[in-house]
Structure 1
């Protein structure tokens, strides 16, 4: 069954409204307007309300970059937010980047909840978890906070440094940081005979490794899945695959998992969305997840 899932524990985040290719969001006490290519419908609130509510608005110079316009020059460039579910609490430093991002993807909280819940159910003491394309580390933080031995892999040194700051902010320690092309790292771990109880993948549609390696989702995801699933501990494991690509559906994600894992247990697929206070649902990616929990 295909599921539609939205986060339920956020207090420091709110999607207020979305439409006309924009979204109005609250991160902590800061309210931002950012571009959103999925929001092709009309806004729920009048433009005057958006203008009144927001503190900072992103204005694009091109398809990939732009600048932030502050209504009040005193608005911060950096601030903190916290996420807490039933298992753990994690914190993030947010910042205004030139790519419209602020350092967090709030819809991923659904996957964080799944990760922490699964780790708590494992009978394996201190299970090993690998987070690939790990960005600023939301999934890594949650895995570590839930009791895992976590490795965090991303090809961009600056975002790994950012993730390390988030670890310290969350009062956590000992996450393993790796700046490397994800596919290369996985192949090396296979040669070493490594096994992981949990693997998280949130690959971009396009990307580059630290040495210029090219990543294109549709060209490389099957190779990645074939390799990654060989790293899973056969006795107790979970796998989370999340994609944000306009060309991918949850059926594609299901086929990828079934092609690489014979008879996956407890397979779930679906679409992540954020529920706007003004009424609309904003789709933000598709997921597939499977887990095998050993009975104690």
Structure 2
């Protein structure tokens, strides 16, 4: 099992973690927000956190400890949106950040390891027009990485505002012609299978729980098996890759490996499995999800 973390992203830094919180720098701003897996003590004092943080997220009253809903408290002069850049090899991406009511800022920095994987794959296996499908695609980091390498990208998310955000990231990165789909991911994949569509790359980053564009219910443990079986039908038999991320405290790397082996058996030339993590400046490692990546 591999443990992977971005090591070269100059505009992002995990400063400290502990007491169910994390302190991070995104470009020009430092933010403090909840992190349910940071069960250890902070290395810096509360006073140091308060001095450093430009924005602090407070959970709404009468919510559970793991709830993500709340509001941000901003220091005077803090403005949004702001922008952050990411570079790897010849690829340079620019992404918009902002403060949402669910503690997110528009980017999951640990996913940069998967962006690098996509770039490396498309660089080594040049195809005239590789087809890449990004499901539960959020603000589109993986979509941008694939598009920057010449892929034809289909970006699927059920939230219109997120698609608008993704489009802004595409334009700021000097890219164009990503195919935007506002729909429930499972419904879209079922239809693509009926059409006989094939993709050279599929990226899945499903939430533990969510709603589709028309209120369709997504529950990870109930739906992931069907979703992956459908993706098996969509994935090209050669010159293709699949990335699965599972950010759910109930899903281990062993569950992910067993699930993938039961569906895909020995159809991948190679695969790897492990955890994505971020390390703070005090050498504490924060786990941020299980990944599985395979290549045909």
Q: Specify the alignment match of 1:168 in structure 2.
A: 171
Structure 1: distance between partners of 2:48 and 2:289: 28
Aligned pairs for 1:200-279 (under 5 A) are 200-263=203-266, 264-279=268-283
CA offsets 1:115-170 (integer angstroms, 9 cap, x no match): 11101111322200000000000100011011111000001111011100110011
1 CA distance for matches of 2:148 and 2:197?
22
SS in 2 for 1:241: strand
- Are 1:33 and 2:37 counterparts? no
> Which consecutive unaligned segments of at least 5 residues does structure 2 have?
none
What are the ranges of 5 or more consecutive residues in structure 1 without an aligned counterpart?
none
Q: Give the TM-score taking structure 2 as reference length.
A: 0.96
Q: Which of 126, 130, 133 is the equivalent residue of 2:133?
A: 130
If the length of structure 1 is used for normalisation, what is the TM-score?
Answer: 0.96
1:153 aligns with 2:152: no
Q: Which residue of 2 aligns with 1:191?
A: 194
Contact 1:44/1:280 (8 A) holds in 2: no
Q: 2 CA distance for matches of 1:271 and 1:130? A: 22
Q: CA deviation at 1:111?
A: 0.5
**Which of 266, 284, 288 lines up with 2:288 in the alignment?**
284
Structure 1 residue 279, shift from structure 2 partner = 1.8
Aligned-residue RMSD, C-alpha: 0.9
Task: Give the deviation of 1:84 after TM superposition.
Answer: 0.5
Q: For 1:278 and 1:24, how far apart are their aligned partners in 2? A: 12
Number of residue pairs matched? 290
Structure 1 runs of 4+ aligned residues shifted over 4 Å read: none
**Alpha-carbon distance between aligned partners in 2 of 1:70 and 1:272, rounded to the nearest angstrom:** 29
Q: Is the 8 A contact 1:9 1:83 kept in 2?
A: no
2-structure distance, mates of 1:246, 1:177:
30
For residues 87 and 214 of structure 1, what CA distance do their matches in structure 2 show? 39
Q: Which residue of structure 2 aligns with residue 55 of structure 1? A: 54
Rounded to whole Å, the distance in 1 between the matches of 2:269 and 2:44 is: 43
